[in-house]
Chain A
Amino acid sequence: MTESRPRVARTGSRPGHAGLPRLLAGLHSSGQVLSALDHERVHGPLPALRGGELIEMVQRSGLRGRGGADFPVGRKLRTVAAMGGSSRGGVSAVVVNGSETEPASSKDRLLFTALPHLVLDGALLAAYAVGAREVIVNVNESAEGSLRVLEGAIADRGDSRVPIRVVTGPDGYVAGEESAVIHRLNGGRPLPTFVPPRPFQRGYRGRPTLINNAETLAQIALIARFGDQWFRELGTSADPGSVLVTISGAVATPGVYELEFGTPIQDLLAAAGGLTERVQALLIGGYFGTWVEYSRAAQVRLARTDLRAMGATLGSGVVIALRASACGLTESARVVRYLAGESSGQCGPCVHGLAGISALFDALAGGTASERERLTLERWIAEVRGRGACHHPDGVARFAQSALQIFEEDVQEHRLGRCMARRVGVPVGAPSGSSAS
């Protein structure tokens, strides 16, 4: 393997990288892995923090989980540490949830294959802070590259106070749900469990467990080095910091981009090379996400408040631009069918409800649905919410509901036997393009 150093100037351990990139500083254009040595050159050494210090820094930073739930990370760390302190066996593990089962997301894979030390740093710091006995990195079976690079990276960095190991889990959409990951680590099948108890209460080995998304832990690795004030230099006061967004669809250079919260959506699309053609809508938040008309989305910023006003959340950081020449209704019907098939099959409302929703969605897209069926579809979408052990049905309901709203005109057109679709717009079930920065 040839020696190639990242072309990033060493800035010293403080005050840290000015502006962007932060997480992606040191990313090779080839996507080649950043070695432990180069990682340290780019970001500086792993700081030694006193007990409790990291948790306070993370709390002050305002970092929220990047896996989709937006939960305040500092509060989670504090809760897990407290749960561990008051239970006999302590905290069993920090689990890195890298089971990137969202088909349109590739940020976890990018972090694991190119910048593994950032994630491992964050996981170790979190483990020290909550008193966990080990770090377990959970990656998809299909992500062989991630597994290989992570194992190499763990060997490359030498011993740590807490052991690190990598495990693989199945690829199914629901297998990445945190209770499913924990259930599998405990020897069960990779299926969600009835919560509570949640992992922070009773997780791996039945003991309190911290489980976080890979990007969340990578952010912790930087906050620990450069501080919470540095973290807040980017972003807005409500949404501090930077975030990894996987941008795909009708953009010139699809890939993973690190952006500052508060970035106008227009600039986000420009970062991915700009639109390649006219776009009718953006799917924000991935397949559990929300369709938003392009004309509206183009007016707002990448910020929770702006997105919420349109009924959207960033989810695990996915934006897909749907070209005007594709049919949103047909695309949505395909996505709903895919998601219905991804039900883990445990909960009646999910199994039957999603199958029913998908069948009626297909009828709608096929132009054969009656008005009565349309009303039934809306009722089923409303009824399925909150009735699974995990949030799979809720995510499908959100997606389907937004599709019905945004593509209402298409519903009328299809009823008249007209569909505007000339091209396919959304990849379904297949991970989108590779990485870029």
Chain B
Amino acid sequence: MSTRLRVNPIACEGHGLCAELLPELIRLDDWGYPIIEEAEVPDELLDLAYRAVDTCPTLALVLDEDNLDRG
């Protein structure tokens, strides 16, 4: 089973905490909004990824477990 990162761009306000916690997978664009460089979260980064999701002030960072709600 794989876990993938996704940003809800409507909710995101560009606080940038996700990129601080997960620079391996997320960087910021010139306006401070996250660019997901690698959506697939490797096992060793899962804890950090969940922390990033919890830390996002607007709850804009989403972790999808595969086969769920992807259409």
* Chain A residues packing against B (C-beta within 8 Å): 192-198, 200-201, 346-350, 352-353, 356, 380, 383, 387-389
- Residues of B close to A353: CB separation below 8 A: 29, 31
* Per-residue interface assignment for chain B, residues 13 to 27, with 1 indicating a CB less than 8 Å from any chain A CB and 0 otherwise: 110000000000000
CB distance from B14 to the nearest CB of A (A): 5
- The reply to whether B29 and A349 form a contact with Cβ atoms under 8 Å apart is yes
- The reply to whether B70 and A194 form a contact with Cβ atoms under 8 Å apart is no
Given contacts A352-B33, A387-B35, contact A347 B9 (CB under 8 A): yes
CA distance A418 to B70 in the complex (A): 50
Within 8 Å by CB of A387, from B9, B13, B69, B70, lies B9
- The reply to whether A352 and B31 form a contact with Cβ atoms under 8 Å apart is yes
Contacts A/B (CB < 8 Å), 27 sampled:
A194-B9, A194-B10, A195-B71, A196-B69, A196-B70, A196-B71, A198-B71, A201-B71, A346-B10, A348-B9, A348-B12, A348-B31, A348-B33, A349-B9, A349-B33, A350-B9, A352-B29, A353-B29, A353-B31, A356-B30, A380-B30, A383-B29, A387-B7, A387-B35, A389-B8, A389-B9, A389-B10
CA distance A365 to B8 in the complex (A): 34
CB distance from B24 to the nearest CB of A (A): 18
> Is B11 part of the binding interface, using a Cβ–Cβ cutoff of 8 Å?
yes
Which bucket holds chain B's interface residue count? 10 to 19
CB distance from B44 to the nearest CB of A (A): 26
- The reply to whether B71 and A348 form a contact with Cβ atoms under 8 Å apart is no
Within 8 A of A (CB), among B41-71: 69-71
- Between B10, B11, B12, the greatest number of chain A beta carbons within 10 A of the residue's beta carbon is seen for B10
- The reply to whether A194 and B33 form a contact with Cβ atoms under 8 Å apart is no
- Residues of B close to A195: CB separation below 8 A: 71
Q: Is the interface of A mostly helix, strand, loop or mixed?
A: loop
- The reply to whether A194 and B14 form a contact with Cβ atoms under 8 Å apart is no
Q: Please give 19 more A-B residue pairs, beta carbons under 8 A apart, in addition to A196-B71, A346-B10, A350-B9.
A: A194-B11, A195-B71, A196-B69, A196-B70, A197-B69, A201-B71, A347-B9, A348-B31, A348-B32, A348-B33, A349-B29, A353-B31, A356-B30, A383-B35, A387-B7, A387-B33, A388-B9, A389-B8, A389-B9
- The reply to whether B33 and A200 form a contact with Cβ atoms under 8 Å apart is no
- Residues of A close to B14: CB separation below 8 A: 348
CA distance A180 to B29 in the complex (A): 26
CA distance A196 to B9 in the complex (A): 13
* Chain B residues packing against A (C-beta within 8 Å): 7-14, 29-33, 35, 69-71
- Residues of A close to B7: CB separation below 8 A: 387
In this complex, what residue of B is CB-closest to A201? Answer: B71
Within 8 Å by CB of A194, from B8, B32, B71, lies B8
CA distance A388 to B11 in the complex (A): 11
CA distance A53 to B26 in the complex (A): 48
- Residues of A close to B71: CB separation below 8 A: 195-198, 200-201
- Residues of A close to B32: CB separation below 8 A: 348
CA distance A356 to B29 in the complex (A): 12
In this complex, what residue of A is CB-closest to B70? Answer: A196
- Residues of A close to B12: CB separation below 8 A: 347-348
CA distance A197 to B69 in the complex (A): 7
Listed from nearest, the 8 A-B pairs whose CB atoms lie closest are A347-B9, A352-B31, A348-B33, A346-B10, A194-B8, A196-B71, A389-B10, A349-B33
- Residues of B close to A194: CB separation below 8 A: 8-11
- Residues of B close to A383: CB separation below 8 A: 29, 35
- Residues of A close to B11: CB separation below 8 A: 194
CB distance from B15 to the nearest CB of A (A): 11
- Residues of B close to A387: CB separation below 8 A: 7, 9, 33, 35
In this complex, what residue of B is CB-closest to A384? Answer: B29
CB distance from B8 to the nearest CB of A (A): 5
In this complex, what residue of A is CB-closest to B7? Answer: A387
CB distance from B69 to the nearest CB of A (A): 5
CB distance from B25 to the nearest CB of A (A): 15
In this complex, what residue of B is CB-closest to A376? Answer: B30
In this complex, what residue of A is CB-closest to B69? Answer: A196
CA distance A98 to B37 in the complex (A): 36
CB distance from A391 to the nearest CB of B (A): 12
- The reply to whether B30 and A348 form a contact with Cβ atoms under 8 Å apart is no
CB distance from A192 to the nearest CB of B (A): 8
- Between A346, A348, A383, the greatest number of chain B beta carbons within 10 A of the residue's beta carbon is seen for A348
CA distance A383 to B32 in the complex (A): 12
